[in-house]
Amino acid sequence: MEKTHLKHKHGAPKILNYSVLIVSDTRYLEIEEGKKSTDMTIPVIKEILEKNKQNFISFQIVPDENLKIKEVLLQLIKDKTDIIITSGGTGISKRDITIETIKPLFEKTLEGFGELFRYLSFKEIGSSAMLSRASAGIINNRIIFCLPGSPNAVKLALEHLIIPEAGHIKKMMKE
């Protein structure tokens, strides 16, 4: 999309550190029960970060539970991570509580991320884009992106919105 354009604007891409938090009862249970993980999001994130010369620091998997999500998120915020990606729990079913859990912790909300993510999704998948409640915000000088659980959604957000702006965001938050 706007990639060539953005490369010019921000100069050489900065190398930043990314941590990932998968929010999913299903994925969590697979691990608890020693089963093979059916997660397809982590490999997609790793591949995109590698291709863009970004650092993948760590991932963790938590169930759809308010306190577990908060606890891991607050640990990540103390780490050397620059960007935190959560994936899963942004839909409209009762178990989807990632947004309800994380949004009240944001010091600043970045409404524009959710809007443009849904606009780009709409171009790709049509009206079901409106069912995602993807959001982004700032806690303690780190930016948190709450993405849906599907690999395609994560790819769209990373390639078209997050990675092109990550260096820019880091610079702004230092000011």
Residue 15 CB, nearest approach to a second copy (Å): 18
- Is residue 108 a contact residue for a second copy (CB under 8 A)? yes
- Beta carbon nearer to a second copy, 27 or 133: 133
**Residue 137 Cα to chain centre, angstroms:** 11
- Is residue 104 a contact residue for a second copy (CB under 8 A)? yes
Q: What is the distance between the alpha carbons of residues 173 and 170, in angstroms, rounded to a whole number?
A: 5
Q: What is the distance between the alpha carbons of residues 35 and 33, in angstroms, rounded to a whole number?
A: 6
- Is residue 140 a contact residue for a second copy (CB under 8 A)? yes
Q: What is the distance between the alpha carbons of residues 152 and 164, in angstroms, rounded to a whole number?
A: 17
Query: Under rule CB under 8 A, how many of the chain's residues touch a second copy?
Result: 58
Q: What is the distance between the alpha carbons of residues 13 and 164, in angstroms, rounded to a whole number?
A: 8
- Is residue 89 a contact residue for a second copy (CB under 8 A)? no
- Is residue 56 a contact residue for a second copy (CB under 8 A)? no
Of 26-34, 40-48, 53-61, 156-164, the segment contacting a second copy by CB under 8 A is: 156-164
- Is residue 23 a contact residue for a second copy (CB under 8 A)? no
Of 4-12, 15-23, 42-50, 54-62, the segment contacting a second copy by CB under 8 A is: 4-12
- Is residue 9 a contact residue for a second copy (CB under 8 A)? yes
- Is residue 133 a contact residue for a second copy (CB under 8 A)? yes
Of 11-19, 40-48, 148-156, 158-166, the segment contacting a second copy by CB under 8 A is: 158-166
Cβ count within 10 A of residue 166 = 24
